[in-house]
Amino acid sequence: MTYQGKSREEIIKQDVKDLHGLGYAQQLFREMGGFSNFAISFSIISILTGAILLYGYGLQFAGPIINTFGWPLVSLFVLCVAASMAELASAYPTAGGLYFWAHRLGGHKWAWVTAWFNMIGQIAITAGIDYAAAVYIAGAINRIFGANLPTGGFGVVAVMIVIMIPQMLSNIFGIKLTARLNDFSVYWHIGGVLVIALLLTLFGKHGQPFSFLFQGVTTVAPKDVAGVFAVGPLEVNSIMLKIPGMAGLYAGAGIAFAFVLGLLQAQWTYTGYDASAHVAEETVMARLNSAWGVFLSVAVSAVVGYIVLIVLTLHIPDIAATVDGANAPAVLYIVYENLSAFFANIIAVIIAVAMWLCGLASITSMSRMWFAFARDGGMPGHRLISQIHPQYRTPMWSIIITCILAVLLTLWSAVYSVVVAISTTALYLAYAIPTYLNVRNKRRKQGEYTTKATAPWSLGKWGPLINWLAILWIVFITILFSIPPNELAGWSMILLALIMFLYWQLDAKKRFKGPTPADEKELRRIETELEKLAH
């Protein structure tokens, strides 16, 4: 398949033909170019959100080495995951993304499980982004203006809702507006990192020697955060520590184990880049642009993120004070200790805007995933969630309902890192399933799988190796982020699996058969009706 020599109109016609071939009508406006597709995933990864918000989390466990070595280590394996997903996005350019891939590669049962992990992960990541943004923005306003906005409890949830309302409205009023904001977000993030790096390098008061980057320092020992976990306002004694050998592992854990626990900082930053696949039906030249969007968003974030982390680490005034909860967030403590109030306030605003843009992009991806699954009847309320606004051609009810669910999820856990761990685990399980099915089918030479003929963006002979590295990494982090101090995330995933099993047995298996392709006549009828409603 080639796009060379074709006009934009001809390319869009080819995209619509490809979508029809997968069984779906062109219900959404196809407005996004390659840069905009890349921009949405880059904005959700947002190195000025995840890497900044969890900076103190990683630092407290292992010190400077968590940034010097942890970030590139995680980046390498995440690139394997992204490359595996990009190849599938090239073969199946649909808004359903991962769940549609799983259906084609393994059947409707695999698709249903993938969809639910993906949906829960999308809700959790949006909740984590906007809740943390609320805490950060409230704290920044208090610092800059001497205000007294709440930075904890239900007050933060109220701030979160205020932040989300314009994000929701931007998504409802059309993909063109959202795409422009995501394009702007790329420049804002990269420019913001350069500003932070320059200001700290030129005017920072607490420069550390280069050797500081290679220090391992455990300020908070694993055993100190493993005894209890919070469920809302309740504290529960750890259950996992009663497993033989677990208590001894945490009691005698050294810097190596602490370093591994601290990897959550980098790993959570690298979530949500499946967004490029979820907006495939709104992307021009989708088979290539969606694939490159998935892969490049991770690759560019790896480089830009490493720059900002190294610069921040070289300007840590004191590790213990930086990770002290009284000085949270840690990055703002570093900035205000190093720079004048004027320059520090500029950086605070740069990070706040980046977080808002990150939340905006996350809602876009989340709502498209829910819409795609709903149009195939995969969830309760699917008829409402799958409705498209006739004028704006956006999944309005999907946007509204998923945002409400994201707010409710923040009430489930009193610990922010647990919401982060839930989103990371659920999303990466959804990433793993179609990757495994693809490499399994290749090995067996049975069923569907990616080839150079079906996927213009192809890994070629390196595909199976990269796929298996991705799968093994996901197995590793699933275990890692389900044990103390994020034990609630592990039990939440077990509870989720139980609920999914019961729902499947009692209801879904009786009616859900996966994506059901419509014939060409029906697809054109759907598109014609939407055109009439728009006018």
pLDDT in tens, 193-207: 999 999 999 999 999
Distance separating alpha carbons of residues 515 and 363, to the nearest angstrom? 23
Can you give the CATH number for the domain in which 435 is found?
1.20.1740.10
Residue 119 lies inside a defined structural domain of this protein = yes
Give 423's pLDDT tier (boundaries 50, 70, 90). Answer: confident
Residue 417 lies inside a defined structural domain of this protein = yes
Distance separating alpha carbons of residues 71 and 52, to the nearest angstrom? 13
Q: What is the pLDDT of residue 415?
A: 54
Q: What is the pLDDT of residue 412?
A: 61
Q: What is the pLDDT of residue 232?
A: 59
Q: What is the pLDDT of residue 343?
A: 97
- 50: tokens are 């995840």
DSSP H helices, 241-340, are 246-251, 255-261, 264-269, 275-278, 286-313, 319-323, 330-338
How many domains does the chain divide into?
Answer: 1
Q: Which position has the token pair 């999907």? A: 398
Residue 21 lies inside a defined structural domain of this protein = no
Distance separating alpha carbons of residues 479 and 490, to the nearest angstrom? 8
Amino acid at 63: G
Per-range mean pLDDT, top range of 29-33, 381-385, 434-438: 434-438
Q: What is the pLDDT of residue 447?
A: 94
Handedness of CA 334, 337, 341, 342 (dihedral sign): negative
Residue 17 lies inside a defined structural domain of this protein = no
pLDDT in tens, 292-350: 999 999 999 999 999 999 999 999 999 999 999 888 889 999 999 999 999 999 999 99
Q: What is the pLDDT of residue 3?
A: 65
Q: Interhelix angle for 487-503 vs 108-145, to 10°?
A: 140
> For residue 396, what are the domain limits?
31-534
Residue 72 lies inside a defined structural domain of this protein = yes
Average pLDDT for 176-182: 88
Q: What is the pLDDT of residue 95?
A: 81
pLDDT in tens, 393-419: 899 999 999 999 999 888 765 556 567
Q: What is the pLDDT of residue 521?
A: 83
Residue 18 lies inside a defined structural domain of this protein = no
Q: What is the pLDDT of residue 6?
A: 78
pLDDT in tens, 253-273: 789 999 999 998 899 899 989
**What's the burial of 404, exposed, middle or buried (CB within 10 Å: 0-12/13-18/19+)?**
middle
- 460: tokens are 């070629």
Q: Tell me the β-bridge partners of 278.
A: none
Residue 10 lies inside a defined structural domain of this protein = no
Whether the pLDDT of residue 1 is over 60: the answer is no
Out of 191-200, 356-365, 387-396, which region has the weakest mean confidence (pLDDT)?
A: 387-396
Give 167's pLDDT tier (boundaries 50, 70, 90). Answer: very high
Q: Which position has the token pair 């890349």? A: 38
pLDDT in tens, 223-258: 888 877 666 566 778 888 888 988 888 888 789 999
Q: What is the pLDDT of residue 140?
A: 87
pLDDT in tens, 79-137: 999 999 999 999 999 887 898 999 999 999 999 999 999 998 999 889 888 988 898 89
Q: What is the pLDDT of residue 227?
A: 77
Q: What is the pLDDT of residue 18?
A: 84
pLDDT in tens, 27-50: 877 888 899 999 999 999 999 988
Give 354's pLDDT tier (boundaries 50, 70, 90). Answer: very high
Handedness of CA 351, 302, 280, 441 (dihedral sign): negative
Q: What is the pLDDT of residue 495?
A: 86
217 and 64 in contact (C-beta within 8 Å)? yes
Residue 23 lies inside a defined structural domain of this protein = no
Cis peptide, bond prior to residue 485, ω within 30 of zero? yes
- 58: tokens are 């990683």
For residues 498 and 5, which has the higher predicted lDDT (pLDDT)?
A: 498
For residues 518 and 25, which has the higher predicted lDDT (pLDDT)?
A: 25
Average pLDDT for 516-531: 79
Q: What is the pLDDT of residue 325?
A: 84
Q: Does pTM surpass 0.85? A: yes
For residues 288 and 529, which has the higher predicted lDDT (pLDDT)?
A: 288
pLDDT in tens, 437-490: 999 999 999 999 999 999 999 999 999 999 999 999 999 999 988 888 888 788
